[in-house]
Structure 1
């Protein structure tokens, strides 16, 4: 937790701002990497980070503050979003290309290790990027000067062992300080005998282990396929659940949506005599506990809206995920009744930015009515943030931010509150 979040930020940000301590005749004015030293630029970046809060889905929990509060109010989670979510886009075109790509190596390696399930190829990729980051740090920042040795914090060496430790102990997210602190807090809240608290917490821990063992042996008993549904919800199977609100009656759709619906129905053998009508649903609960919302409902909300309608979905037969903005959900017979989503798909990520950032920056165009499609809701994998940003070449694109450690939430039984 502290290594990837607080420790990294506590070194890199002061270096880039030119506020890190110096020794001997070294001076920050000679640091070619101190691209954030200008106070006006720092204030603009801080305001930009604050403005992005409304684009982070509710399931992303706490949003990063304005950068002016970075040393007094930032928590580990905010550091994770700032560095590994916003970082590749935020610092692109500001940091020199060498330093930006060096930072992207770190982001790529840490993102892989934040997964709950990591393949051998991914682990090898993370190991390569983290070791190159450590080696290049001395080349780019220390530059062989003895008065900069204090730049090399212990965590820079520690990250070179993360991949090997992952192979030995499992993904860091399952055995990190964050996980241990969460467990200590959980068990601490269960203490009821304050006369002998240590014996009590030991007994509670033993009981927790016994329950976990039973859940592992009999998952169907403790994790039923049909969860308790909120009022008005509809279980679709495979842990997908449609949630209210929904239209009381079927309605007509826009001309662009009508064309897409008609094409879909024709492909199923239906011949339309009248314009298609749909009964819209507003929300969809995903197997990972997130709730994917819709443009239909979010555009009529007036206060405290955090955009949760952008999703990552996997089209069968394709290797890479696609991204889209959900307009609404609806049901259709295919040949049995199934649920679908009307989605405005984003374009493919810019290949040049993706390559130069080591696959950490996915920046897409929003096509609105130009790329409408209908997808099976069970192709939706997660809710993502699509952050609007003007890149240095004056292109207005949306870059993708995925929730750190999202795959781990499935194991914790997390469910985002619906508030419906």
Structure 2
């Protein structure tokens, strides 16, 4: 956890902010120092403004780093800030060679944090991380004695040993310290007696282990398994649940939306549903329900989803869910355009930037193809580029999020 979610981020930010120790003999200007002065302050405000685009299932979005970086910044904040938002936000701040080197690290780290990794992904991660480590030394260290302290152990570890340890021990998500720290926090909250705290903690841990063993031996005594469906919800099986609110009257779709429904189902009338629970525990909302909430407050955007169909990955904005006369459940989705191939190549697949097409690219998608809820962030651009592009930020480890115990509350509309 500390290697990938704290140490690397701290090193890179110290370099880009110019806060690393400078030897007396090192009087050269550091061309990679960009996050200073008004640029750092503006960048911090940009990061703070990204909160509205992060789904609620991402737990803790990054705070303004210019104000809060030294005030208990959490590991999840570091990850979402540097490796989540970084490929998009740092592109217009860092010089191209430094940004591309950083993107190699980002792509490699994202692979290492998966719960399931293929042999091809392992080879790709090895190539990316070795290239990052070599590029880092050439760009920053430059084999100068007065910059030797730039080469912290985390750079060597991630470049030379991370992949081999994944092969030996399995994906890093299974050995992360998050589970241990959460367990310590849970058990610590149960200790009520101030005397002999460590003896009490040991007894709480022993009792927890005994209870867990009983639940495994006798699953019928475990009252925590499964979930209780809210009123009006429809269980679709395999962890998928269609959730209210549901429109009372039939909705008549018009224009391209209506033509799409008419061509596929022979009618442009549907009853819209507002929410859908995914097998990973996330709840994907929709524009239908969020537009009503916008009249009262400004919610965090939770209607962008990852779609996988026939091996092709796409991202889309859910307008609403509906049930056909055959009792099949679909989502009306405005699919984003394909990613910019130049940015995808230059970033080593770390930056998926695409255009929002609204009704121009509407699709009726079976809910079984919805993989996860994602964050779509507005992409900062250079003066010569066109506006209107968005880039994807995915939650780490979301391919098996239920193992961590985090899932959205189905009762909260």
Check whether TM > 0.5: yes
Q: Is the 8 A contact 1:239 1:287 kept in 2?
A: yes
Residue 54 of structure 2: aligned partner: 56
Deviation at 1:48, TM superposition (A): 1.3
Report the secondary structure of 2:91's partner residue.
Answer: coil
Residue 380 of structure 1: aligned partner: 370
Residue 351 of structure 1: aligned partner: 341
Deviation at 1:68, TM superposition (A): 1.4
**In 2, Cα distance between the equivalents of 1:223 and 1:115?**
30
**In 2, Cα distance between the equivalents of 1:296 and 1:243?**
13
How has the CA–CA distance of structure 1 residues 152 and 218 changed in structure 2, closer, same or farther, with 3 Å as cutoff? farther
How has the CA–CA distance of structure 1 residues 214 and 358 changed in structure 2, closer, same or farther, with 3 Å as cutoff? farther
Report the secondary structure of 2:92's partner residue.
Answer: coil
**In 2, Cα distance between the equivalents of 1:13 and 1:195?**
42
Residue 364 of structure 1: aligned partner: 354
Residue 150 of structure 1: aligned partner: 149
Q: For structure 2, which runs of at least 5 residues remain unmatched after alignment?
A: none
Residue 188 of structure 1: aligned partner: 188
Q: Is the 8 A contact 2:353 2:379 kept in 1?
A: no
Report the secondary structure of 2:77's partner residue.
Answer: helix
Instruction: Kindly report which structure 2 residues correspond to 1:16-35, keeping only aligned pairs within 5 A, or say none.
Output: 16-27=16-27, 30-35=29-34
Deviation at 1:320, TM superposition (A): 2.8
Q: Is the 8 A contact 2:259 2:268 kept in 1?
A: no
**In 1, Cα distance between the equivalents of 2:402 and 2:119?**
22
Indicate yes or no: 2:1 matched with 1:5.
no
Q: Is the 8 A contact 2:315 2:336 kept in 1?
A: yes
How has the CA–CA distance of structure 1 residues 321 and 211 changed in structure 2, closer, same or farther, with 3 Å as cutoff? farther
Indicate yes or no: 2:300 matched with 1:306.
yes
Q: For structure 1, which runs of at least 5 residues remain unmatched after alignment?
A: 266-271
**In 1, Cα distance between the equivalents of 2:397 and 2:353?**
21
**In 2, Cα distance between the equivalents of 1:248 and 1:226?**
29
Deviation at 1:80, TM superposition (A): 0.5
Instruction: Kindly report which structure 2 residues correspond to 1:5-404, keeping only aligned pairs within 5 A, or say none.
Output: 5-27=5-27, 30-37=29-36, 39-73=37-71, 74-159=73-158, 160-191=160-191, 198=198, 201-206=201-206, 208-209=208-209, 227-265=227-265, 272=266, 276-302=268-294, 303-315=297-309, 317=310, 319-334=311-326, 337-392=327-382, 393-395=384-386, 396-404=388-396
**In 2, Cα distance between the equivalents of 1:122 and 1:178?**
24
Q: CA RMSD in A?
A: 2.4
How has the CA–CA distance of structure 1 residues 355 and 210 changed in structure 2, closer, same or farther, with 3 Å as cutoff? farther
Aligned length: 406
**In 2, Cα distance between the equivalents of 1:216 and 1:120?**
33
Q: Is the 8 A contact 1:251 1:277 kept in 2?
A: yes
Q: Is the 8 A contact 1:226 1:239 kept in 2?
A: no
Bigger shift: 213-222 or 290-299? 213-222
**In 1, Cα distance between the equivalents of 2:221 and 2:264?**
39
Deviation at 1:9, TM superposition (A): 2.4
Q: Is the 8 A contact 1:173 1:408 kept in 2?
A: no
Deviation at 1:77, TM superposition (A): 1.4
Report the secondary structure of 2:345's partner residue.
Answer: helix
Bigger shift: 109-118 or 405-414? 405-414
Q: Is the 8 A contact 1:6 1:76 kept in 2?
A: yes
Q: Is the 8 A contact 1:339 1:376 kept in 2?
A: yes
Deviation at 1:168, TM superposition (A): 2.1
Report the secondary structure of 2:328's partner residue.
Answer: strand
How has the CA–CA distance of structure 1 residues 31 and 198 changed in structure 2, closer, same or farther, with 3 Å as cutoff? closer
Deviation at 1:36, TM superposition (A): 2.8
**In 2, Cα distance between the equivalents of 1:376 and 1:94?**
40
**In 2, Cα distance between the equivalents of 1:87 and 1:217?**
46
Q: Is the 8 A contact 1:226 1:237 kept in 2?
A: no
Deviation at 1:57, TM superposition (A): 0.5
**In 2, Cα distance between the equivalents of 1:19 and 1:185?**
33
Deviation at 1:208, TM superposition (A): 4.4
**In 2, Cα distance between the equivalents of 1:212 and 1:166?**
28
